[in-house]
Structure formats: C-alpha cells, structure tokens
Structure 1
C-alpha cells in the first residue's frame, strides 16, 4: 500500500510521479495547442522535440535518485504528451484527487493507474463533472490551500482557464479544517506573457517562509497584496514578465533547503543561493516552451 501525505509544497519529498517525454508525439498543429506559448513555438518552428526533452526529464530523475526519492513514471502511451503529471491529479493530506482536465487528455490518468492501484481506494477522490481543476492551480500550505481560479463569465472561452469556482467550493468541502484561499488569475489565449496558465506560473512558496511572485499574473491587486503580506516583502522574489514567461516560478522543492531549478534562471538561482538554498540546476528550457516546467511535470505523493 502506498502511503500518501502532502501538507505543503516544500517538506522532505519521499515519493513522486515524474512525467515522461518518451513517445510524446509529433509537433501539434497550431490550432490544436492548449496554450499560447506552445502555439507561438509551433508557428515559429521552435516547438520542442522528443530527443531534446527526454534528457531534460532524465536529469530531474537523476536529482531525485541523488536524494533517495521514490519515483513513479507513467506507462508510455504511443505518440501522446505525458510530460505534465501535475495536471492530472494532486495529493492533499492523504487524499489522491483526480483532476477534471481537458477531455483530450483523459488517457494521461490511465497511464498512472499502476500507481493509483497501490493507494487505499477510500482515499482516491473523483470530483463531480462540473468541478474543473488542475494540479498546477492547487497548493497546500499548512492550514491553507491556495487555489488559482478564473470566475469571469467568459470562462468557457478561455482554453487557458483550467480551474473554476466550483473547484474552490469542492476543496473547501473536502478539507473543512483548512482555509481555501482563491486567487483570480490573468488569462489570455493569445499572448503568453499575459497568461498565468496556473497559479504556479506566477507564485510558488519555497523554504518555510519565502515565495516567488509575479504581480501581473493576478487579476485582483488585493489578492496579490495578501500574499505579499502573508510572506513578508523581504521574503519575496518578484519575477519580471519575461521571467514569468520563462517559468521562473515553476521550480520544485525537494525539501525546505533543496530546490530543483532551471540552469538558465541566473537571477533567481543567485538569490536562492544567497538565501542559503541548495540549488540543483537542470536543463529544462525545451520543456518550458510548452508553458510548463519543473512543478508542472512532478506530482508529489508523499512528503515527510
């Protein structure tokens, strides 16, 4: 039996699902892309290739091995993108919650059925159909669950809006002892620098009391200011629009002291090291072209 426990973003990682770039299929047509950044790279002829992405993911697997983390991988589906494991499910406390994601991506959850089969069935939660949520929008943080959402009436028109208000309500009902705090995110189907696809594209807690933030990712300034006050201005690394576009907030914590980051995030990595973090630097720039990075491609199952 696989014991689950995740109560925050940074406690010592014991077990994780890491996506795979193997057999991820041909370059999609521009009109089939799920986000504006992927579309931009398709049109520019710079969309990432499997041969370049596989070594990037294996570099992350090697870091996990170094820190004795148990790693699960999806079963390979031929010609199918299975990189972003965070989207398809997430763990809070001892509950494994299946996401209701874009219908085209249903097969991704089937590819980790061998993991789900090891979990107590009572702890596997399937949400009602009207609840839309992806793991990139959900962050447990002690007594809080931070959730990125979009509540505009034009929600159905945004393929980039992945988590709705019903999800906020459902999570609060599932975890009555926690405070579910939602944040309205800025969405764009066409301009990647104005699109916060998920909460972890513009915010991420690190260590025990610090955070990476991008102000323009938030639609409501008061909600952004709440986070600034919660962590304290001196504990926040504010990233620029270009840094958000390059996914600087989408790094991944192995523990409160150790962070996996992209090797080109020079300004961020320097700041992290100055603050005393150990930064395990990996190449991930090709995967970043699909508007996802390290947090997006990992799904923690157990943290100490």
Structure 2
C-alpha cells in the first residue's frame, strides 16, 4: 500500500474506520479517559453498544457511496475500538504509530492486517517519552499543526495526550515541514473546559476554510495565528456548546464533501453555503465519549 496524506481535505481513497462491536461494559468512573464520558457515566446516559454500532455503520455506508476503500479493526472482545484516529496517523507516505494511554495498547494490534501492507521503512515509532495521539496532528501541506500541552503539570492531566517531546520528534522526522504547535486548554473534570485534541477545537474544511473554537486555545496569539493563516472571512467560529457537542470534529471526504452529525444545524447550513455537500449521519451517542467523526477515522490515502 502506498500511503499518501498531505492534508485534511483532499479526495479520500482509503481509510481505517473504527468499530463499536463488542465495545465492552460501561466503564467505571476510574476507567473513563475523559470528563465527558465521566459525565454520562454519572448521569446513567452512557451510550449503549447497539446504538453506537448503528451510528458507525451509517458512516461506513457514506464512505462506500463515495467509493472509499474502508478497512476495519479486528474485533477484540469487550474493548473500545471506536477512535482509530488516536492510535496512528499518516503524514505524506509515513505511518506514525502513536504513543497513547497504556490501557489502549491492543488497539494498534487490531489493525495489523493494514499495517503489514505498508513497507516497514515507512512505519515510524516515536521515542517512548514522546506522547502523541492522532487527534492532535493535522498535516497541512508544508505545515504540520500539532495540539499539545506544555505545562509542568502535564502528568496530572489524563486529558493531555500530546507532549512537547512529540512535537520535537515530528520536527526531526519531517525536517522539510514547518511544525506549528498549539497549546490547548485541559480539564480532567469539566468537559466544556476541555479540548481533548486539536480536532476538538479546530479543523480545516473545504478549499481554504476552518472551523474553530477560540476558547479551546490556551494562548490567544496561537489562535490569532490560525485566524491569520486562513483569513478571518474563512473562519467559522463555534460556541462553547457547539464545541462540547464536537462540531469541529466532522470529517472530509473531499474539499466538496463532508460527513457531519445531523444535529449540527447551524454548522451544516454554513457548510452548504460554502458549496460543500453535507452527508448527515446520527453520531450523538458516540459523541458522549468526547469523540466524533474525525476521531473515528484514520485516513491512509488521499489524492
């Protein structure tokens, strides 16, 4: 397989889509990885497997409609395998394995049938102390945007998934690219104050547009840099409530087609105003785990 990912919006040809089958029992509060999951565990509204399977299969149907080659993880009994974006990511023709939370190590093994189709020289394993997850990494042509948390209290945040050592490792691995890091706001306990990954508060869409949540950025100058990069007129600002429901976590099949949650009325209207076809799917149950459409997909090949 010849990997090819230069950006977030070129025509998608191959992707690994997560699975909600055999998702396991509702986790305890101690087992939850993020404050939104904790919120729903406490409230008794944590999503049930049957509903999540329906949601993720609706995405598979849209991808099939657009002739995208879809790979799926092998099922691990009683194990959450929805968010494939976390476990690895592709930049150019390289497959970079993430260093994720130890409890999730088995997830990469479940896509071994995909990894073994990639030339070993193109598979990159970062140093063990370089913590990184794919939701924080966005290839943008000559740039790589990376969400991170640089505070000395990094270890205190289960929601801090990508550290400075990972940013430095990407700089070494891709010396011809400009690696730009963005410090994100983190909270272990309040979902509305937590930007789990960069794609929870920002995402490029279309030809030159971007969805952004200003308050997800710890440093205002870094938010302003992004606004300048795209141009203020091309930025769609979302509210805290929209961020909480994961409005920036849609997924592009091409510059002209996106998959979005059917309840994102304001966003979907704006996307259509930009001339973008919006394929609406139900995804509100999966979003209760603080992840949405981009989180569930690991693109391998784009034109």
- Shorter chain as denominator, the TM-score bin is over 0.9
Match of 2:278 in 1: 279
Matches of 2:165 and 2:30, distance apart in 1: 28
Match of 1:270 in 2: 269
Matches of 1:255 and 1:167, distance apart in 2: 28
- Structure 1 residues 63-74: aligned runs within 5 Å: 63-74=62-73
Matches of 1:125 and 1:230, distance apart in 2: 29
Match of 1:139 in 2: 138
- Structure 1 residues 211-222: aligned runs within 5 Å: 211-222=210-221
Matches of 2:2 and 2:124, distance apart in 1: 15
Q: Deviations over 1:72-126 (max 9, x none)?
A: 0000000000000000000000000000000000000000000000000100111
Aligned residue pair count? 303
- Structure 1 residues 28-177: aligned runs within 5 Å: 28-177=27-176
Matches of 1:253 and 1:172, distance apart in 2: 26
Match of 1:9 in 2: 8
Query: Which residues of structure 2 form unaligned runs of 5+?
Result: none
Give the ranges of 4+ consecutive aligned residues of structure 1 lying more than 2 Å apart after TM superposition. Answer: none
- Structure 1 residues 207-286: aligned runs within 5 Å: 207-286=206-285
Q: Deviations over 1:113-172 (max 9, x none)?
A: 000000001001111101000000000011100000000000000000000000111101
RMSD: 0.4
User: 1:71 is paired with a residue of what secondary structure?
Assistant: strand
User: 1:32 is paired with a residue of what secondary structure?
Assistant: coil
Match of 1:198 in 2: 197
- TM-score when normalising by structure 1: 0.99
Matches of 1:230 and 1:79, distance apart in 2: 43
Matches of 2:169 and 2:255, distance apart in 1: 29
What is the CA distance between 1:256 and its match in structure 2? 0.5
Q: Deviations over 1:155-211 (max 9, x none)?
A: 000000000000111101111111000000000000000000000000000112100
Matches of 2:194 and 2:212, distance apart in 1: 14
What is the CA distance between 1:69 and its match in structure 2? 0.2
Matches of 1:162 and 1:196, distance apart in 2: 10
What is the CA distance between 1:31 and its match in structure 2? 1.6
Matches of 1:256 and 1:177, distance apart in 2: 25
Matches of 2:66 and 2:253, distance apart in 1: 8
Q: Deviations over 1:11-67 (max 9, x none)?
A: 000000000000000000012100000000000000001000001000000000000
Matches of 1:234 and 1:3, distance apart in 2: 36
Matches of 1:77 and 1:63, distance apart in 2: 25
Matches of 2:68 and 2:210, distance apart in 1: 24
- TM-score when normalising by structure 2: 1.00
Matches of 2:302 and 2:243, distance apart in 1: 27
| Residue 182 (1) aligns with residue 199 (2) | no
Q: Deviations over 1:229-269 (max 9, x none)?
A: 11011101100000000000000000000000000000000
Matches of 2:111 and 2:89, distance apart in 1: 12
